[in-house]
Structure 1
Amino acid sequence: MAGQDWLDKDFYKVLGVSKDADDSVIKKAYRKLARANHPDQNPGDKAAEERFKAISEAYTVLSDAEQRKQYDAIRAMGPGGFGGFGGFGGGRGGSGFGGTGFGGASGGFSGASFEDILGAFSGGRRGSASTGTGSFEDILGTMFGGMNAGGNPGFGGSTGGFGGSYGTPTKGSDIATSVKMSFREAAEGATVKMAVDGKNMTVRIPSGVSDGKKLRLSGKGRPGTNGGPAGDLVVTIMVDPHPVFSISGQTLQMKLPITLAEAVLGAKITVPMLSGDQITVKIPAGSVSGNRLRVRKQGLEVKGKRGDLFIELDVVTPQKHSKEAIAALEAYAEATKDWDPRADFKATLD
């Protein structure tokens, strides 16, 4: 059960982040560690493989708001959290699990209130602990995987709870892993082979995935207990960067360098594509760096629909110029001397 495992694992320490780290810090730490310890980068290194598994598991939990909330609540119990439950009446030596009540000296919550723990495991619901299907049954089913305490039917009667005839069905824990792909594979989609918990699997990665994208494969995680469903396999995609193109779903993006003359006068430019084909792009006269052009239906095909290509213009000039080029630029400067490109900039300072 994930709850019991989490007590012994410090996911924040694994990723080297503080407990109040935000999502961006956690993601940055994960990417750095995952790349350094990825099996492809460390063939035959079992220690690196184990570190990679631990890093992936930590990221899967901490990058999911709900799982992180439950993890923090469980860790707040302390090492004796699961063993420190007492009688539910609050009296010492009660008829519960044989200790003090939730607030007693022998409890294992280490400062976490019962309402905090209950809220974390029941999505913020607060139920009654008296009769019927009270929330104690739900929380214990979640924490102990449906384990019964023994004895006669208690909360919930014969359907479970304390001393019920069977435990609560509990979903199995998720398995976290990652896969490294070339930019072309990410753009076009690919079938990849991976080893998960000692088993070889073949997974189809759809086209248009970007670096850091997480794919959740339902039912491919660890088996559930008491008839509960299996957990999921969470695959984080690591895409090698491309020097020209980038991916955003169906959209393909690129930065296109153009000359000063092409920007001023306009031009038609041949642009190579990932597929090996070439397209002709018209640069409007008077273009500047940062202008974006949209070329329809030249993006990526995702789920049967093709997206667009967005081109960002980047006006560049050579570092060295011939005498003729300098003379032409001087003539250009003279012809445009009445134009002040910083007029608006100066106005904001007045």
Structure 2
Amino acid sequence: MSDDPYKVLGVARDASQAEIKKAYRKLVKELHPDLHPGDKTKADRFQEVSAANDIIGDAETRKRFDAGEIDASGQERPERRYYRDFADADPQGRYDSGAGYGDFEDLSGVFSDLFGARAGAGTGRAQGFSARGADLRYHLDVDFMDAVQGAKRAVPLPDGSAIDLTIPAGVREGQILRLRGKGQPGLGGGPAGDAYVEIGVRPHPVFKRDGNDIEVEVPISFDEAVLGAKVEVPTLSGRVSMGIPKGASSGQRLRLKGKGVRPAKGAAGDQYVRLKIVTPAKIDAEMEAIAQRWRDHVTEGPRAGLWRAL
């Protein structure tokens, strides 16, 4: 792993958090293992990018890294940790040095203080040490239908392992899911941190989402538009039959109540079907004759209302 997360993500040290997030998401889309199955080089690079984002993608963690308090893996640098935790509590002043850390004479005593050695009452020495583990942050792209219907997926980790994640039905783009206790382990018996997974949703070729509502464009023929018809339309739960009213127009929207996204909590949205009249690729003589008779018959064209509004 690189010692410089800025170089891994390809951003300057003075980059804004928004610039870092943009660079990270771009790399995730290029390197995600789901898009490159079996490509170990990209998988390793993806893990490196995820680890770098854990450090500088969070403003507080980035501040600590820039200050030298933690290294590129998120671990506290030992000398910083020991100095911060024990300088104020040490009556002998072992850690109070203007010359840096060269006067750490007895490290065994420090470890004893850290991990549970007991001292007599009134001495002022620490009686034990524990700390909560650091939180970890990840990004996971999922298919549109997985986000809508819910699914179970594995979040790949930088060390090659994975966290099992339950994606609730109705999860949205950018939503962050929390996994309690799945962050870095605690120290000295302290609790583990949490893992936060930001969800990205891949687009669907047919369905478009607006909140919990779904919109889909359905082509209909000229005769179906004029005479009305019953047609099958796709929904999130399968095909349904829908009535097309007589005289339907392109762009007209019909509603299928309750056929939108049904989230884990709350009411389901609706599905809106936008009609699109499609003429045949090849026009025969009979169709031309029908169209001509229609043209001769009508007295007002479809754009009459447009001109009246001007």
TM > 0.5 fold call: yes
Aligned residue among 81, 86, 90 for 1:148: 86
Matches within 5 A, 1:208-219: 208-219=170-181
1:259 partnered with 2:253? no
Hey, what's the Cα distance between the residues in 1 that align with 2:231 and 2:222? 14
Match of 1:326 in 2: 288
Aligned residue among 5, 10, 27 for 1:9: 5
Structure 1 pair 299–152 and aligned structure 2 pair: CA distance change class (3 A): same
- The Cα of 1:172 is off from its aligned counterpart by 3.0
Match of 2:301 in 1: 339
Matches within 5 A, 1:193-204: 193-196=154-157, 197-204=159-166
Match of 1:52 in 2: 46
1:190 partnered with 2:151? yes
- The Cα of 1:221 is off from its aligned counterpart by 0.9
- The Cα of 1:222 is off from its aligned counterpart by 1.0
Structure 1 pair 7–267 and aligned structure 2 pair: CA distance change class (3 A): same
Does the 8 Å CA contact 1:15/1:55 hold for their aligned counterparts? no
1:245 partnered with 2:207? yes
- The Cα of 1:34 is off from its aligned counterpart by 1.7
Match of 1:158 in 2: none
Structure 1 pair 346–153 and aligned structure 2 pair: CA distance change class (3 A): farther
Match of 2:255 in 1: 294
Hey, what's the Cα distance between the residues in 1 that align with 2:306 and 2:150? 47
Structure 1 pair 187–224 and aligned structure 2 pair: CA distance change class (3 A): same
Does the 8 Å CA contact 1:181/1:237 hold for their aligned counterparts? yes
- The Cα of 1:195 is off from its aligned counterpart by 4.5
- The Cα of 1:217 is off from its aligned counterpart by 1.5
Structure 2 counterpart SS, 1:320: coil
Q: Percent identity?
A: 32
- The Cα of 1:38 is off from its aligned counterpart by 1.6
- The Cα of 1:238 is off from its aligned counterpart by 4.7
Hey, what's the Cα distance between the residues in 2 that align with 1:272 and 1:340? 30
Does the 8 Å CA contact 2:260/2:268 hold for their aligned counterparts? yes
Structure 2 counterpart SS, 1:327: helix
AA aligned to 1:147 is D
Hey, what's the Cα distance between the residues in 2 that align with 1:185 and 1:167? 46
Structure 2 counterpart SS, 1:208: coil
Structure 1 pair 341–165 and aligned structure 2 pair: CA distance change class (3 A): farther
Hey, what's the Cα distance between the residues in 2 that align with 1:261 and 1:182? 36
Structure 1 counterpart SS, 2:86: coil
TM-score, with normalisation over the residues of structure 1? 0.57
Does the 8 Å CA contact 1:263/1:315 hold for their aligned counterparts? no
TM-score, with normalisation over the residues of structure 2? 0.63
Match of 1:159 in 2: none
Matches within 5 A, 1:29-44: 29-44=23-38
Hey, what's the Cα distance between the residues in 2 that align with 1:9 and 1:284? 60
Matches within 5 A, 1:115-154: 147-149=85-87, 151-152=90-91
Does the 8 Å CA contact 2:185/2:192 hold for their aligned counterparts? yes
Hey, what's the Cα distance between the residues in 2 that align with 1:153 and 1:263? 91
Hey, what's the Cα distance between the residues in 1 that align with 2:188 and 2:235? 53
Match of 1:311 in 2: 272
Structure 1 pair 310–15 and aligned structure 2 pair: CA distance change class (3 A): farther
| Residues matched between the structures, number | 266
Hey, what's the Cα distance between the residues in 2 that align with 1:240 and 1:337? 48
RMSD of equivalent CA atoms: 4.4
Does the 8 Å CA contact 1:289/1:312 hold for their aligned counterparts? no
1:282 partnered with 2:243? yes
Does the 8 Å CA contact 1:208/1:247 hold for their aligned counterparts? no
Q: Which stretches in structure 2 are left out of the alignment for 5+ residues?
A: 71-79, 94-123
Aligned residue among 15, 19, 29 for 2:15: 19
